[in-house]
Amino acid sequence: MATITEIADEVFRISTFIPERNLQINQFLVRDEEPLLWHTGQKFLFEGVREAVAKVLTPTSIRWIGFSHFEIDECGSLNDWFALSPNAQGFCSFVGARVNMNEYASRAVKGMKDDEVFATGKHHYRFRATPNLPHCWDAGLLFDDTSRTLFCSDLFHHMGDAEPITKSDIVGRARAHLEDMEKSPMSDYIPYTSKTENLLGGLADLHPGTLAVMHGSSYSGDCAKSLRDLGTVIREVVGAK
């Protein structure tokens, strides 16, 4: 069953814990004139996510559905949401729309340029293209300039049924998980490239107040430092191989 918690002003975290994988899969909902859903989760999560959304607003009123990159935990139930919500507009990076969505999606998906901005009423957003961060060529991230929330996708991934939001360090948790991944058949989860730390620095320069994390706790505190520190962690754990 999915739980829903407000983690920033009008920003809600929807979380489903998968015990057999010790993994949370989180989506984020922003309540506004035009409601926005960031990530859909897999198809098997669709009913639970829809029920969680219904606790805050009418699911058929979802107007924007965005995601970071083409993986099923990010966008697996996109077409189910399109079937449910007649006015929903999907969006992802330009690359994602061009390479994957033209065929995968049942409805045209908007390809966002780097630093493209848009508004949904009170909330103003910036889409940042982040190729190969956290992973995949088509990756991008979303910043809600109004609540100062950065939707991080797989960045800061950590395991367990973590609290909805914490002020404690999540960089240490992310390092522990990345180290475990590197020792597993799932290694190279987050690649270290010549652009990784610059991209993270660019996200830090947005000065987020909340990091909305897809797997694990969201964080409120010195987010700019956490983003730069995460760059160091990725370099030390992955880049040094």
- Report the distance separating Cα 203 and Cα 201, nearest Å: 5
CB of 67 to Fe ion, least distance (A): 10
CB of 214 to Fe ion, least distance (A): 5
- Report the distance separating Cα 94 and Cα 60, nearest Å: 26
Q: By CB under 5 A, which span of 43-51, 88-96, 104-112, 149-157 interacts with Fe ion? A: 149-157
* By CB under 5 A, residue 154 contacts Fe ion: yes
Q: By CB under 5 A, which span of 14-22, 105-113, 150-158, 229-237 interacts with Fe ion? A: 150-158
Contact partners, residue 151, CB within 8 Å, separation at least 6:
28, 38, 39, 66, 68, 141, 142, 143, 144, 212
3-state secondary structure of 177: helix
Q: Which of 71, 169, 180, 222 binds Fe ion (CB under 5 A)?
A: 71
* By CB under 5 A, residue 23 contacts Fe ion: no
Q: Under rule CB under 5 A, which residues in 194-233 are in contact with Fe ion?
A: 214
The phi, psi pair for 21, rounded to 5°, reads -110, 0
Q: Which of 32, 34, 73, 80 binds Fe ion (CB under 5 A)?
A: 73
End-to-end CA, the chain: 39
- Report the distance separating Cα 234 and Cα 227, nearest Å: 11
Residue span 161-200 as binding mask against Fe ion, x where in contact by CB under 5 A, dash where not: ----------------------------------------
* By CB under 5 A, residue 138 contacts Fe ion: no
Q: Tokens 């690649």 correspond to what residue?
A: 191
68 versus 146: smaller Cβ distance to Fe ion: 68
Q: Site residues (CB under 5 A) for Fe ion?
A: 71, 73, 154, 214
